[in-house]
Amino acid sequence: MGLFDRFKKKQPEIKAKAEPKPKKAEKTEKELATEKGEPYVTVLSMEIDPENMQSGAFELDWNDKFVSNLIRAGYQMNSKDTDADIVDRWFTTVCRNVVLETYEQYEAMNPERDRVVKSRNIGDGRSEVS
Q: What is d(CA 45, CA 59) in angstroms, rounded to the nearest whole number?
A: 5
How many Cβ atoms from other residues are within 10 Å of residue 70's Cβ? 21
44 versus 108: which is more confidently predicted? 44
Bridge partners of residue 9, in order along the sequence = none
Q: What is d(CA 28, CA 49) in angstroms, rounded to the nearest whole number?
A: 30
| φ/ψ of residue 72, rounded to 5 | -65, -30
Percent of the chain with pLDDT over 90: 57
- For residue 66, count CB atoms less than 10 angstroms from its CB and return exposed for 0-12, middle for 13-18, buried for 19 or more: buried
Give the pLDDT confidence of 8-22 residue by residue, as tens digits: 555 566 666 667 777
The pLDDT score that the predictor gives to residue 11 is: 58
Name the pLDDT band for 28 (thresholds 50, 70, 90).
very high
Q: Distance from first CA to last CA of the chain, Å, rounded?
A: 113
Q: What is d(CA 59, CA 119) in angstroms, rounded to the nearest whole number?
A: 54
Name the pLDDT band for 75 (thresholds 50, 70, 90).
very high
32 versus 110: which is more confidently predicted? 32
